[in-house]
Amino acid sequence: MERSKEQETTAARISIKSQQGLAQAKTHIPQESSGKEKKDLFHLRVREEEEMGAYHSSAYDAKRLPTRSNEPAPIKKVEARGFPAITNESAPIKKVEARGFPTIANESTPTKKGQVMTFRSSSKWKIHFEASKQTSKLIVIDFTASWCGPCQYIQPAINEFAEKYTDVEFIKIDVDELHDVAEEFGVQAMPTFILIKKGKEVDKVVGAKKDDLQKKIEKHRS
């Protein structure tokens, strides 16, 4: 391997020191020594200077040259920032609820609001009406319409009566949905309240007359 300029300069300095050491060895050999002793001392000094030069050279090389090993350099882990980790797990599916859309009720099933039952099917109403003939319970049928102002006005009172008179059955029928039932009972104005007992009409109230309706309910409920 070729030496660098700095290594060559260092080697030259060591050579100069070696030559100076040889000169010193010649001058420091005792004059009183014999020829053989002078020669031995001279060679001993030369060997020492050579060993010192080799030591300095090896020390210099060990200091300047990097140590090489067969072990691979450690791999640095680089994390990708700003990007989500990708996994094999499937993302959870979010349930999206449809908001702003009214619930579609089953027309064949009567619905209750408190103690007020609402029928939207003529066949279901007829079945319920035939079954009511076997009992003596008072039934109050509220014939109403969504566009009827007096009907909406008296509705809170109907709900109040349903909570108060638990032995009376309150039924709500929209004349636009079950017009055949309204015609069967001869309804011509809304609201119309028809009181039925054992399948027969016992009384009627036409109009949003809360007090009159309450009196007739108390009269026929017993």
Q: Write out the catalytic residue numbers.
A: 148, 151
Residue 132 φ then ψ, to 5°: -70, -20
Closest to 175 measured CA to CA, from 139, 142, 143: 143
Structure tokens at 143: 């014939």
The label of the residue with tokens 């109907």 reads 158
Residues 195, 217: Cα–Cα separation, whole Å: 8
Give the H/E segment covering residue 143. strand 138-144
Q: How far apart are the first and last CA of the chain?
A: 124
Residue 98 φ then ψ, to 5°: -80, 115
C-beta of residue 117 within 8 angstroms of C-beta of residue 170:
yes
Crossing angle of the two packed helices 210-220 and 149-164, in degrees rounded to 10? 30
